[in-house]
Structure 1
Amino acid sequence: MKLGLDIGSTTIKCVVLDDENKLIYSTYERHYSRITEKIAEILALVRTKIDGVENAAVALSGSAGMGVAESVGIDFIQEVYATRVAANTFIPGTDVVIELGGEDAKILFLTNGLEVRMNGTCAGGTGAFIDQMATLLNVKLEDMDELAKQHEKTYTIASRCGVFAKTDIQPLLNQGARKSDIAESIFNAVVSQTVAGLAQGREIEGQIVYLGGPLTFMSELRNCFDRTLGTKGICPENSLYYVASGAALCAEKTIDFDKVIEKVKNYRGSGNFAFNQPLFNNEEEYRKFCDRHAKADVKQKELKGYKGKAYIGMDAGSTTVKGVVLNDDGELLYSKYLPSKGSPVEIMKGFLDEIYEINPEINVVSSAVTG
């Protein structure tokens, strides 16, 4: 029996393999940056679920796991090597592995030796990128795939950076583009970033395997890869657990569960982190800051019942909509600051409806929009 852990940038995966390398237990959870707490919790849970697991060899892999492994005395297996071992074991003859994680992306060329292409420190074109775009569209991440399947057209969207992508998407939303078309365009942008940014001209051919959360959960994203590459890739059963399974396959050393769980709970990292000094040294400094800035506060008059001339201004930004109503002396009568939720026109209409609900007789003599 062997146990493998994969500590990714956003999730923790754990598997237990029997003596024939068959999966007998697995768990996949987001850690929300509570990595050590989750590791301890999962190890304690596995011990209660699987008889004899305390005699299992244990190994750990993943981009966020090296420091923990070294500190608590668990064997660490580099994630690319773990992926290769799992692919060769479970899908012999694999030529290329395309894996998208929470914040990393990689292509493994396995034919004629191993060649690895990985993204750098930027998470453009990864699961985090899709997360951001779902938030911009104001849809749940799990709904993105179904939405993309309903597309009628695609748009060119930058994928190297989430900021650039938002700059492309926001005008489309403002102009009334269908969210389904934008969702499909986002998936195509991820494919372009992965193929062009990582493959860098090397042919992706042969038996292709898709791994990682985004490619496992989003069939339309896999279809986008298939159409671009002119092939039909394989998303295997238990694709979420290939790195964890590879770690398990490489595990050789058993652990003392009680000691390891205790060490994990008390792990605090290396401590060698750069940090800035606090803005305020004490509560008194903070209070003075608040008092000083409160003096510059804009005094607001009452919109309800106002009979004079009114002026409306709105700012439709990339993620928020701001609106104000001023009186004839330039004083503030009403204001709103709202997330655009992927529908800035609807938000602005709602703002205008509120104004007329508060003061149906308002005399708007001028208005303007920016952003």
Structure 2
Amino acid sequence: MSKSAENTALYTLGIDIGSTTVKIAVLDGKHNILFSDYRRHFANIRETLKDLIGDAYKKLGNLRVHPMITGSGGLTLANHLEIPFVQEVIAVSTALKDHSEKVDVAIELGGEDAKIIYFEGGNVEQRMNGICAGGTGSFIDQMASLLQTDASGLNEYAKGYKSLYTIAARCGVFAKSDIQPLINEGATREDLSASIFQAVVNQTISGLACGKPIRGHVAFLGGPLHFLSELKAAFVRTLKLDEEHTIAPDDSHLFAAIGSALNYKEDNTILLSDLDNKLNSEIHMEFEVARMEPLFADKAEYEAFEERHNAHCVGTADLETYKGNCFLGIDAGSTTTKAALVSEDGSLLYSFYSNNNGNPLATTIRAIKEIYSLLPKGVKIVHSCSTGYGEALIKA
């Protein structure tokens, strides 16, 4: 392309600053995507965006672009960079209309937000979750950690499921309360993974749609629905959609960025190199986080706290020299297994504490084997008791 043609060509840059990821898309005048990427920012938005802009510069050269920013974390950045901002629902709606005229409902899941957008007779209605991230990408990550995997691992497990369990998705704490007993009772990772995805579906439909039908042509957008095929399949299965009414664009994870590029302003342009330079400077947030008072005013106060609490300890005795009866207690908790061997006078002879890695029975067996390997002659375990999430499993 000649220099004069490059100067007159139209290039637009869409930037989507999400709660956990940054997405960018560079489009030409015919809405073709010349460059796009999707990257987690790990709370470092400026550096992540700078890296993405640098990658676009390396591939496309120093283009002059019409930039536009959208996303839940984009407004402060837009003000700092002097780039126009467009509301996310407008950006997504624009991208959907450019992609297909046949969209009645869009379901979009992000890192910490979830949306349902209804398109009815030219009107647009958006329903979005509140401050809780239940049923979003972050929720899926949290649940995956309980199964010692990540989101993509959950997706692979879910492909082989046979049964679904009821799991709360409104809150990670409630979901954990449902999942951990199932883990302790021996539920398979395949069934648990599919159940987690089904919980996200149920939360989205019941919590956002609130009884309003989701029907017609349904588009699935956002990173979790793009990268997790079994999550999308759970939505399709629950909504009873056929292939004709299921819209899953190839770039569904980038739709907000694409839509923001399509909403560009004629009078706002910038070279990619200049945008990269602007991102070199620190961004001063427009708010200050309210901070709580520290627990301890100084080191001396903390040391006094430690001394006070360390004065109260469980009495111990030497198992190697002990003679007589003893008692075994096992606590099969949600993530750890604990065991204590106690003498007749209440002294602690042995203790065990370990992560159960989702298998409390195997961990308990390991603890008991260790106890018996250390138990001297003349010592007898006369009574044992179990408690915790895995109590029934240990008793069995």
Establish whether TM, by shorter chain, passes 0.5.
yes
RMSD: 2.2
The 8 Å contact of residues 168 and 174 in structure 2, kept in 1 or not, is answered as yes
Aligned residue runs from structure 1 range 225-236, under 5 A:
225-232=235-242, 233-236=246-249
Output one character per residue of 1:303-359: Cα deviation in whole Å (capped at 9) or x when no partner: 456544332212223333322222232222332333343222222222223323444
Matched position secondary structure for 1:182: helix
Moved more, 287-296 or 23-32: 287-296
Q: Distance in 2 between matches of 1:24 and 1:180?
A: 39
Alignment of 1:255 onto 2:265? no
> Out of 64, 71, 86, which is 1:62 matched to?
71
SS at match of 1:75: coil
Supply the AA of the counterpart residue of 2:385: A
Aligned to 1:37: 47
- Please state if 1:127 is matched with 2:137: yes
Say whether 1:365 aligns with 2:378.
no
Question: Following the alignment from structure 1 to structure 2, what is the Cα–Cα distance between the partners of residues 255 and 38?
Answer: 19
Q: Which residue of 1 aligns with 2:254?
A: 241
Distance 1:84 1:31 in 2: 25
- Residue 347 (1) aligns with residue 363 (2): yes
> Which residues of 2 match residues 264-343 of structure 1 at below 5 A?
265-298=281-314, 300-304=316-320, 306-343=322-359
Query: What's the offset of the Cα at 1:241?
Result: 0.6
The range that moved more, 34-43 or 262-271, is 262-271
Structure 2 counterpart of 1:184 = 194
1:254-273 CA-to-partner distances (Å, cap 9, x unmatched) read 23654664456411312332
**TM-fit CA distance, 1:66:** 1.3
Shift in alpha-carbon separation, 1:319–1:268, aligned structure 2, 3 A: farther
Deviation, structure 1 residue 114: 0.4
Give the aligned residue type for 1:366: H
SS of the equivalent of 1:83 reads helix
Aligned to 2:22: 12
CA contact (8 A) 1:68 1:264 kept: no
Q: Distance in 2 between matches of 1:89 and 1:20?
A: 11
Match of 2:91 among 66, 82, 88: 82
Instruction: Measure the CA separation in 2 of the matches of 1:40 and 1:184.
Output: 37
Q: Could you tell me which amino acid in structure 1 is paired with residue 196 of structure 2?
A: I
Q: Give the TM-score normalised by the residue count of structure 1.
A: 0.92
Ranges in structure 1 where 5+ consecutive residues have no aligned partner: none
Q: Which moved more, 1:359-368 or 1:216-225?
A: 359-368
Whichever of the two has the greater Rg, that structure is: 2
Amino acid at match of 1:293: H
In 2, distance between residues paired with 1:334 and 1:115? 62
Give the alignment partner of residue 147 of structure 1, picking from 148, 157, 161.
157
**Residues 4 and 59 in structure 1, CA contact (< 8 A), matched pair in contact too:** yes
Length, aligned pairs only = 370
Gaps of 5+ in 2: 1-10, 389-396
The sequence identity of aligned pairs, in percent, is: 43
Query: In the alignment, is the contact (CA less than 8 A) between 1:154 and 1:185 conserved in 2?
Result: yes
CA–CA distance in 2 between the matches of 1:172 and 1:30?
Answer: 31
Q: Secondary structure at the match of 2:241?
A: coil
